[in-house]
Amino acid sequence: MAFEAISREILIVLIGILALLIVSSIIAFLLTKFNREKDFSEVNARIKSWWVMAAVFTMAILINHNVSLIFLAFLCFLAFKEYLSLIPTNRAHRKILFWAYLSIPIQFFWIYIGWYGMFIIFIPVYMFLFLPIQMILIGENKGFLRTMGSVHWGLMIMVFGLSHLAYLLVLPGITGENGAAGAGLILYIVILTQCNDVAQFIWGKLLGKHKVIPRVSPNKTWEGLIGGIITTVGLALLLAPLLTPLTLKGTLFTGFLIGLTGFIGDVNISSLKRDLGIKDTGQTIPGHGGILDRVDSLTYTAPLFFHFIRYFYFT
Span 29-85, pLDDT tens digits: 887 777 777 666 766 776 777 777 778 777 777 777 888 899 899 999 999 999 998
- State which amino acid sits at residue 74: F
On the 0-12 / 13-18 / 19+ scale of CB atoms within 10 A, 100 is buried
pLDDT grade for 4, boundaries at 50, 70 and 90: low
Q: Which of 90, 91, 97, 60 is nearest to 75 (CA)?
A: 60
Taking the alpha carbons of 118, 119, 125, 126 in that order, is the dihedral positive or negative? positive
Rounded mean pLDDT of the chain? 85
Task: Say how far apart CA 60 and CA 164 lie, in whole Å.
Answer: 16
pLDDT value, residue 176: 42
Q: Do 273 and 281 contact (CB within 8 A), yes or no?
A: yes
Q: Do 197 and 264 contact (CB within 8 A), yes or no?
A: no
Task: Say how far apart CA 105 and CA 112 lie, in whole Å.
Answer: 10
Which has more pLDDT, 293 or 233?
233
Q: Do 45 and 285 contact (CB within 8 A), yes or no?
A: no
Count of beta carbons in the 10 Å neighbourhood of residue 164: 23
Percent of the chain exceeding pLDDT 90 equals 43
Distances in Å between the alpha carbon of 30 and those of 22, 25, 49? 12, 9, 18
- State which amino acid sits at residue 195: C
Q: Do 245 and 9 contact (CB within 8 A), yes or no?
A: no
Span 108-150, pLDDT tens digits: 999 999 999 999 999 999 999 999 998 888 887 888 888 899 9
Q: Which of 186, 220, 202 is nearest to 298 (CA)?
A: 186
pLDDT value, residue 35: 72
pLDDT value, residue 225: 95
CB neighbour burial string for 107-132, b if at least 16 within 10 angstroms, e if fewer: bbebbbeeeeeebbebbeeebeeebb
Q: What is the mean pLDDT of residues 212-235?
A: 91
| pLDDT greater than 70 at residue 223 | yes
Q: What is the mean pLDDT of residues 100-113?
A: 96
pLDDT value, residue 274: 86
Span 112-121, pLDDT tens digits: 999 999 999 9
pLDDT value, residue 288: 52
Least confident of 3-7, 69-73, 159-163, 289-293: 3-7
On the 0-12 / 13-18 / 19+ scale of CB atoms within 10 A, 312 is middle
DSSP-derived letter for residue 2 is P
Least confident of 90-99, 216-225, 244-253: 90-99
How big is the CA angle at 285 (ends 281 and 289), to the nearest 5 degrees?
Answer: 30
Q: Do 85 and 280 contact (CB within 8 A), yes or no?
A: no
Percent of the chain exceeding pLDDT 70 equals 89
Task: Say how far apart CA 182 and CA 169 lie, in whole Å.
Answer: 4
Span 269-287, pLDDT tens digits: 889 888 888 876 666 655 5
